[in-house]
Amino acid sequence: MQLLLFAMECGLGALCVVLVGAFAHWLQWLSPVAVLLYLLIVLPTALLCGFWQSVVVSFSAVVVQSYFTAHLSRLNPAVDPANSITLIAFVLTALVVSRLSARVTEHAREAESWGGQMQDLYEFTRRTLQMNLHVEPGAQLAELVHEIFSLEAVVVFDADLHETYQAGIWEIDPQELAQNVYYFETSDDDAETGIGRRVVRLGTAPVGSLVLRGDTSPLTNNAIASLIAITFDRYRAFANESRIETERRTEQLRSTVLDSLAHAYKTPLTAIRAASTGLSEMGKLSAGQSELVALIDEQAGLLNDLTKRLLTTARLDAGEVTVHAIQVGVRQLIEEVVGSLSDRLASMKVAIDLPDRELIVCCDRQLMSMLLSQYVDNACKYSIYGTAITIRAVQTRAEVIFSVHSFGPVIPMADRERIFDRFYRSSTSSNRASGTGIGLSVAKRAAMIHGGYVWVKSEEDEGTTFYAAIPASARKREMQ
- pLDDT tens digits, residue range 315-370? 665 555 667 788 999 999 999 999 888 877 878 889 999 998 889 999 888 889 88
Higher pLDDT, 143 or 43: 143
Kindly report the average pLDDT of the chain as a whole number.
Answer: 77
Task: Give 131-197 as a DSSP string.
Answer: S-TTS-SHHHHHHHHHHHTT-SEEEEEETTTTEEEEEE--SS-HHHHHHHHHHHT--EEETTTTEEE
Residue 19's pLDDT band (cuts 50, 70, 90): confident
Q: Give the fold, CATH level 3, of 325-471.
A: Heat Shock Protein 90 (3.30.565)
The whole-angstrom separation of Cα 382 and Cα 409 is 7
Q: Is the pTM of this model over 0.85?
A: no
Least Cα distance to 17 among 43, 52, 41, 51 occurs for 41
The whole-angstrom separation of Cα 143 and Cα 104 is 36
Residues above pLDDT 70, as percent of the chain? 68
Domain extent listing, the chain: 2-112, 137-318, 325-471
Does the pLDDT of residue 97 top 90, yes or no? no
Type and span of the H or E element at 349: strand 349-353
Residue 98's pLDDT band (cuts 50, 70, 90): low
Query: How far is C-alpha 416 from the chain's CA centre?
Result: 25
Does the pLDDT of residue 78 top 50, yes or no? no
Tell me the per-residue pLDDT of 434-451, one tens digit each, with 9 for 90 and over.
555 567 888 888 888 888
Length of the chain: 480
Check if the beta carbon of residue 398 is closer than 8 Å to that of residue 471.
yes
pLDDT number for residue 324: 79
For the beta carbon of residue 275, count every other beta carbon within 10 angstroms.
14
Residue 272's pLDDT band (cuts 50, 70, 90): confident
Does the pLDDT of residue 477 top 50, yes or no? no
Residues above pLDDT 90, as percent of the chain? 19
pLDDT number for residue 468: 94
- 3-state class of 296 per DSSP? helix
For the beta carbon of residue 127, count every other beta carbon within 10 angstroms.
17
pLDDT number for residue 429: 43
Type and span of the H or E element at 443: helix 439-449
pLDDT number for residue 142: 92
At the top level of CATH, which class does the domain 137-318 belong to?
A: alpha beta
Q: Which residues contact 310 (CB under 8 A, 6 or more apart)?
A: 258, 259, 261, 262, 438
